[in-house]
Amino acid sequence: MKKETKEEYAQLAETAKELIKAMVRMGYTCTDIEQDLDGRVSYRTLYRWLNGDSAPKRKQDVAALAKLYKRYKTKDEKSK
């Protein structure tokens, strides 16, 4: 594996972990996130990413998480 690729995977893993943590702090569960991602990523996989047991392999999955986080954040801000 190229050095850049390892660094990219490490960054993807960290970004995914932080996004999931933030959504959990908002009150969402990994099951909620799975459903709102239309099953793109299973709750078990999200849980593994959250705990650092595995890392995302596709940038698109992390991009979908980021988009969902923005949606949750907007929804949360409107409800205040």
CATH number at residue 45: 1.10.260
Q: Do the beta carbons of residue 8 and residue 55 sit within 8 Å?
A: no
For residue range 33-53, list pLDDT tens digits in order: 999 999 999 999 999 999 999
* Total count of domains within the chain: 1
What range defines the domain where residue 43 resides? 3-73
Residue 80 in domain: no
Q: Per the domain annotation, does 54 fall within a domain?
A: yes
Mean pLDDT taken over the chain: 92
Is the Cβ–Cβ distance between 57 and 8 less than 8 Å? Answer: no
Asked if pLDDT for residue 79 goes beyond 90, the answer is no
Domain-embedded: residue 41? yes
Q: Is the dihedral of CA 23, 20, 31, 42 positive or negative?
A: positive
E strands in 3-71: none
Q: Specify the amino acid at residue 53.
A: D
Confidence of residue 75 (pLDDT cuts 50, 70, 90): confident
